[in-house]
Amino acid sequence: MKDYLIELEIYEGNPGELLTDGTFPDLAREGICAWMYGRLKVGQKFRYPDDLGELCPWLVDSMTGMLRALENGGTLHWKYRGTPYEKVIDPDGITTEFVRCPDPTASGIVMKVTRRVVDAG
């Protein structure tokens, strides 16, 4: 069985602007992710499984099945061609997936999951 490195990246999401006047934004109305608010940004990356504790539990739950498949050599063959979520599928190189959190409002975020084959030699 191959060894893999898996990286998680915030692909879409609204962290909002941290308010310093003691007020708090209306997250759902403004489409701000509560998990990202004032501390995280689009493009930020996390190592799997090392950084799971830094992620929103709802988001982790959404990714779990996909992560299990990827870490065990599987791929999910739909490609989302022609969309911003078009995937790369290479069982011997890099494979990407995209996962949306279950937040039904505009506050939801999308994570990009990248699996890289580690050279055993």
Residue 44 lies in domain: 3-118
Report helix, strand or coil for 7: strand
Task: Tell me what pLDDT residue 119 has.
Answer: 80
Contact yes or no for 2/73 (Cβ under 8 A)? yes
**pLDDT, block means (10 residues), the chain with 121 residues:** 95 94 94 94 98 95 96 93 96 95 93 92 58
**pTM summary value:** 0.92
Say how many domains are in the chain. Answer: 1
Task: Tell me what pLDDT residue 121 has.
Answer: 58
